[in-house]
């Protein structure tokens, strides 16, 4: 929460002051006029479907002290800038610099092609037990969400947890310029957003920006199981800590098992210490997120025993991410519909196969994976083939953009009624209402833009 005058906001952002210079901004920074409170800074963003400038006067009437805008607003106290997102970033950077002047606040940032939000949630759960912690809502991981998260911190904040996403080279350099991390975590280099990077090596270079952007004295926490990630140690300006299952990882998981509900247990070894870790989260891929959290938490001063207990007690904290619901009618829904790429699809399908086992029918309801570039068709084809190899009993493909899933499954050997294609979410809901029966285990997964999360909501809302 900032505490600045309108004149200071104008000076920091290079904007033109259109408000009394002594106007004090001492409330939250918001982009939704419905969340305004007294003393707030309302950031007027122009989007595809709405323009915050149209709501600026109403925001001030509801208590906002000042508006950050890109055009003149008659009668509205404002600072007018050329680039509102950039100005928001400048404010966040200065706010964090002032908070860090006392030396108590520590910043931990996480990136990776998969697992960012879950790891962010785990970190928030662990660190909040040791001191006041600020972390993003949902996936606030871009040039708008990250500054808004930074601006939530105050003088009492001990830990600032940040999720950093990238859709193109330079994105993480920009974000670390706003908030240089004391601890940077890289989870994985995978095939998300391939269209924006030109290939997997481009993804690796982009993710490495969170390492080169460390604060002085900062520590890079790297996944030793991912060769592209661990190679980033050569770019680190300071110390490197690794995690994983390989024998030379600094924090290593051994004796890994997975139960019939898809939950991982293992022994964690760090130096001379060992701890038993048992996760409540469903899916063996969460082991990477858990180990990353433990390694970062220890670097931030949390005892390993305490950190392992807190990670083990964590349930899914963000919606539509491997959230398991056992319905009254005997159907189990695994809702992982928030987002998808080939790596997370593989992990979720493996979890579906484990949870269903031999006694229950497995049903995969899959939509399109977006932003895969020219390889999109092949990537969907490969996932369709994996569905068959995992012996998933029924594949429901939602939308024309996901048709490669059906092609791959058919080419791999599915036939008859094992693959069903439907045109949209509504059609999928109608089909499943008649098709599902007691004992079924249903995975719902696709990229966020497909809207399949609405199906996840409707399936989990069934009460009988």
Most distant CA atoms of the chain, gap in Å: 73
Q: Tell me: is residue 113 an annotated ligand-binding position.
A: yes
Is-contact 357 317, C-beta < 8 A? no
Q: Tell me: is residue 376 an annotated ligand-binding position.
A: no
- Quote the CA–CA distance of 14 and 29 in Å, as a whole number: 18
Q: Tell me: is residue 118 an annotated ligand-binding position.
A: yes
Closest of 333, 390, 343, 388 to residue 365, by C-alpha: 333
Q: Tell me: is residue 293 an annotated ligand-binding position.
A: no
- Length, in residues, of the chain: 464
Q: Tell me: is residue 117 an annotated ligand-binding position.
A: yes
Q: Tell me: is residue 67 an annotated ligand-binding position.
A: no
Q: Tell me: is residue 267 an annotated ligand-binding position.
A: no
Per-position b or e across 297-308, b if 16+ CB within 10 A of its CB: bbbbebebeebb
- Quote the CA–CA distance of 87 and 83 in Å, as a whole number: 6
Query: Tokens 């499954």 label which residue?
Result: 409
* Residue ranges at the known binding site for ATP: 112-118
* Residue ranges at the known binding site: 112-118
């Amino acid at each position: 929460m900032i505490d600045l005058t309108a004149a200071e906001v104008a000076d920091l952002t290079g904007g033109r002051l259109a408000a009394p210079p002594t106007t004090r901004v001492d409330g939250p920074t918001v982009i939704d006029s419905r969340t305004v409170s007294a003393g707030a800074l309302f950031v007027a963003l122009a989007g595809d479907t709405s323009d915050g400038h149209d709501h600026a006067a109403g925001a001030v009437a509801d208590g906002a002290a000042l508006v950050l805008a890109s055009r003149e607003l008659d009668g509205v106290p404002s600072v007018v800038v050329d680039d509102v997102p950039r100005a928001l970033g400048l404010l966040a950077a200065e706010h964090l610099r002032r908070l860090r002047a006392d030396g108590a606040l520590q910043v931990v940032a996480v990136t990776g092609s998969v697992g960012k939000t879950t790891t962010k949630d785990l970190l928030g759960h662990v660190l909040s037990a040791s001191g006041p912690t600020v972390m993003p809502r949902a996936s606030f991981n871009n040039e708008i969400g990250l500054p808004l998260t930074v601006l939530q911190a105050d003088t009492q904040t001990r830990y600032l947890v940040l999720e950093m996403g990238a859709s193109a080279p330079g994105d993480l350099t920009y974000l670390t310029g706003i908030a240089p991390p004391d601890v940077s975590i890289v989870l994985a280099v995978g095939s998300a957003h391939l269209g924006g990077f030109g290939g997997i090596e481009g993804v690796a270079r982009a993710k490495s920006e969170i390492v080169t952007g460390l604060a002085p004295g900062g520590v890079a926490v790297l996944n030793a199981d991912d060769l592209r990630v661990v190679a980033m140690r050569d770019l680190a300006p300071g110390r490197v800590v690794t995690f994983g299952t390989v024998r030379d990882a600094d924090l290593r998981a051994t004796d890994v098992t997975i139960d019939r509900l898809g939950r991982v247990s293992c022994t964690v070894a760090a130096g001379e210490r060992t701890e038993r870790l048992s996760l409540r989260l469903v899916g063996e891929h969460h082991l990477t997120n858990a180990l990353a959290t433990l390694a970062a938490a220890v670097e931030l001063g949390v005892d390993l025993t305490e950190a392992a207990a807190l990670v083990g007690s964590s349930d899914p904290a963000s919606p539509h991410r491997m959230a398991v619901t056992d319905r009254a009618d005997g159907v189990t829904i695994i809702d992982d519909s928030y987002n998808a790429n080939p790596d997370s699809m593989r992990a979720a399908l493996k979890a579906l196969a484990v949870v269903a086992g031999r006694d229950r029918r497995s049903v995969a309801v899959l939509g399109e994976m977006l932003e895969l570039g020219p390889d999109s068709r092949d990537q969907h084809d490969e996932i369709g083939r994996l569905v068959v190899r995992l012996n998933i009993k029924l594949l429901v493909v939602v939308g024309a953009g996901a048709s490669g899933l059906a092609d791959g499954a058919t080419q791999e050997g599915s036939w008859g009624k094992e693959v069903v294609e439907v045109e949209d979410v509504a059609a999928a809901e109608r089909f499943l209402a008649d098709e599902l029966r007691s004992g079924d285990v249903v995975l719902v997964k696709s990229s966020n833009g497909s809207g399949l999360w609405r199906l996840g909501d409707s399936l989990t809302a069934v009460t009988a």
